[in-house]
Every structure is written in structure tokens, then in C-alpha cells.
Structure 1
Amino acid sequence: MTSFPKPTLIPVNGVELEVFEAGTGTPVVLCHGWPEHAYSWRHQLPALAAAGHHVIAPNQRGYGNSSRPSEVTAYDIAHLTGDLIALLDHYGYADATFVGHDWGAYVVWALARLHPARVNKVINLSLPYPDRAAMPSIDFMESVLGGDNYFVHFNRHPGVADALFEANTAHFLRNLYRTPASAIPLIDLATAELQPGEPVLTEPDLAVLVDAFTSSGFTGGINWYRNFDRNWDLLQHADPVVHQSTLMIYGDRDTIPKSPNLEDFVPGVDVISLDCGHWIQEERPDETTQAITKWLAQED
């Protein structure tokens, strides 16, 4: 198990974020996905610090020991991006490089659009720029993917998945953190037999996540999904183009497809693909770290 710095609770934007940091120099903010934790960046944090960066890895609201507001709307994209801007303000930074994986990438894409002056560079893993759908997201997803899709299920059946995951936390995470991803519905991973595929996490690393979600529960993170329609409204007037220099890192075996029109929305993008599934920085930690540090060195 890789050592990780001790956290600090930092008040921002009406909540407290549990923040792990290391190094000095130009700021780099690492934004985890679902159901993850700042610990998912344990391989990149020390390497980026050694490369001359002040690396800031928050547990975003709803995760770890960060605040978990009870209102679903407290997890919309305005709040999530507002937390990161307030974090910059706390440290006195005008801007930073933001790195996101999975849901963290969604937040970083939105941050670059809603607060472009505060985002120096963008590095996103797994989730390419999300094109704006012609209708609110959950309706669209249900029409295309059906009611069993977890995006739809989380919204149509509030509380059901939360309770199921919390009653089977270790088994659910052990089933989820595998590559290639299971073909069965995500909801079923909480109770299904152990799925085929290679484990992504060692047992000690998995234990860190199990402990974190046993303490925090899953509702905070799932509430991010319950704001997709609200986010669709909140982003409608933002400039759709991401103007910052951007690095997009794909996993060739990820279940999330690569974008066919990424350069239309992110004209300054460089693209790298790694031989892995969805959990890119976990499955290919050295390659991910090298890709990020090399790209940042070239861009600085």
C-alpha cells in the first residue's frame, strides 16, 4: 500500500473538504471520480510534487471526511465547481491545472467552461468532453439505455442503490474494481458472485476504499448523478468550447467510448491511449504518471 499524506479539513464554499497535498510550485488539483477517493491519486501525487508542483487532492463533497450535505441540489455542478474555485482562493492561486478522472473529469470539463480564467490547463482521464444532449440527460439516457442503466436507476429509485451498496460495501467495490468491466448491471455487483476479470486494487488498497465508504456511505456521491438534469440547465449558457491546453487520456478497454468529435469542442487537445480499462491511474499508474508529467513539462 502506497503511503499517502495526512489530510487537512479546509472550509470552502459552505462546506469542509478533506484535502491531501504535497510539494511546492505551480498548483495541480487532482479530482477523483465515483466511487473513488483522493487516494486514487496516490501514485501521481508524489511524482507531481517531485516534478515541481503543489499537488492538491481533495475528497470532493460527499466523499471521505468531507462534508456531506443532505440536500440533493447541494451536489449540482455549480456547487462542485464552486468548491474547487474556493479551494484556489484558500491557497491564493489565480488558476491551476486541473486533472480529473471519471466524474472528476466531468467536473473539470464544466469548470473550464464556467470559470475559464481559473483553469490554466486541463488533463482528463476516461471521460471525454460530454456533448450537450438535445433533451435533459436522464430522459435521454432512459430512452437510449433503458431503466436498468445505473444513471437512470439512481434517479428513478432514490435510496435503493445507496442502501444496497452500503450493505455490501466490500463485495461491491471488489466486484467493481476489475478489468475488463463486468457485463452485468452495476446495481447487481453488490450481490452478484465475484465477476471475472483482473482485480485492479490490491487488498490493502481496496481496504482503504472500503473503510472510507463504510464511514461515508454512498449517497453523497450518488447525489452527483441525481443532478444531471439540473446540470443540463446550468450549463446551457456556458461557452461550449474548452479553450485551455488539454490532455485527454483514454483506456483502450474502457467501457466509455472515445469521442469522435473531441477536437470540435476541445481544439487544443492532445490525446493518449493506454492499454487498460476504466480505472486508468490505478491500472497503469506509471504510464499515467509519465504521460501527465511529460505533458506538463512540455506545456510549461
Structure 2
Amino acid sequence: MFGLKAGQDRSIVLSAADTVAYGVRKYLKINAVVGIGPFADKLDRIQEIYREAKQSARNAVLHGGNRVSHWTAQLPYKANRQSIIGSEDGKLLAEWLDRLDADQIIRWTKRRLGAIAQDPNSVFVQIEWFCVDLYLLFNKYLLANAVDAEWTIGELDDMLRWLQQITRIGEIEERMIGLASNVIGVLARSGDRSGKEVMEVVRAYIDHHFAEPLSLQSIGERFSIHPNYFSKRFKEKYGESFIEYLTSLRMKMAAELLSDTDLKIHQIGERVGIEDAAYFGSVFRKCYGETPKQYRERLHST
């Protein structure tokens, strides 16, 4: 935090910040972004100033790191929130969604994000507005045309938290294109398939592919279901989490292999999707109260 004495110019603070950023880059060998908020003479405005400084620093996502970004009253994020996606854009997107035209939506998304990123006067909050507007448009369309829209795109809070963690503009493009693809994927499938039926299809897939490296993310991507909602709905329907179900399935198969084959312990672990032999043994013992070796020996001794 910098302080100014009476009569000093804000340029002194900017110069000091440049010196700090340069020292970090030169001696610590890491990139540095310095965000500077508005100047104030009252301590009770510190929180407000911090928020503005943090927002200024986020502009490095658009314009690159190794810079000092400072607040000015003219920046767009000080203006009232306005829609980035206008009514005509909304009509076009709705038409493309009606036609399941993913290519048009993806090209439009890339073009709009590129325009914001290439404008030297743009600020990060404009990217946030764009992502929120596109999310809301997709959500509204899905609510009218598909079952359980949130399975596809998740909650808005998820996106806002993610936006505060990204470090490059390319991540945003990838995320929004992925979002558009998921929406198209859901719409392309049978429109009257219920959430219950979706879970049955997913469970059948897990039953046949349990030995593969399955995860919430991979299941979500395959079935165009948001991982958070898949996890929640799976547990609601089957009374156990996806991980619990998958683990139980793998251990049941492992027990059968221990009983019916002479495969080595590590081979059985690999057969059920767990390559780490020590971890396999730990999970098996947690489920059955004894190690795989003890389990096999007990069965063979009876």
C-alpha cells in the first residue's frame, strides 16, 4: 500500500509501482502485475479501493502481464451494467440454436471475445459481462427447450468463481466454446428424455466401463452434463455418490477375480481400473476388512 503526502502527485505512486514490478521480474524471475485503485484520503474507503485495484489487476488477462494497471474514472467497469449481447445478437443466437448450428455460434463467440481482447481500452469486467450474458441466454433457451438445463451449464456462481481464477484469455474462449457445444449436444439429443433416464444411461455406461479412468469431469463431458449436477443427481437417485458407486463396483469385480482366477494382486487392480497396487490394496481392505491376499487365502482355505 502506498501513501501520498500533501502536494505529491499520483505519478509518484505509479513510478514506485513500476519499480516494484521491475524488481520482482528481475530478481525473483516471475511475472508481476500491479493493480492500483483510486486515491482516497479516508481509511474507511480501503476495502473499496482494494476491490478497484484487484479489478485493475485482472485486466492483465486481456492485455498481458508484467504491467502496472491503474484505475481511472473513465473505465467501463465504473459505468452502469449494460448488456454486452444485444437483442439482435440474441435473435441470431436463438436462430442458430434452433438449427443446432454449432459452427455459427462458435465463430460468433470467438469474434466477440476477440474484439474485446484486442481493444486496448477494454477491461476484464467486460469479459465477465459477456460470459454472464451468454450464459443467461443459453440458460433461458434451454429452460424453454430442454430438460434440466442446469445439468448442461451449471450455476452462474460456478462461472463467476471460475472467471476470477483464469489467467489467460484463451481459457475463456475454450470455456465458452465448450459451453456452446454442450448446449448444442443436449438439444441434438432426444428432447423428451428425462433426468431419470439420463442417470440410468450414465449408470449403464459406468457398469460397462468401470475399468477405465472415469471421473466426474469425463462423465460430464461425455454426456453433456455439468459435473456438479451429475454428482448431485446421481446421489439423489442411487443413494450413494458416483465415487462410492464406482469404487464398490470395482471392488466387487476385484473380489470375483481374487476368487476365480490366479491373477496377481497388481494385475487384478489394473483389471478393475486401479493401477497403483498399494492404493488398490488400501481400498479393498477398507471395503472388505482384509487385504486382497488375506481375502484370497481365506477363500482357498475353506
Give the TM-score of the pair, scaled to structure 1: 0.24
Q: Which has the higher contact order (CA 8 A, sep 6+)?
A: 1
Q: TM-score, normalised by structure 2?
A: 0.23
**Is the helix fraction higher in 1 or 2?**
2
**Which has the larger strand fraction?**
1
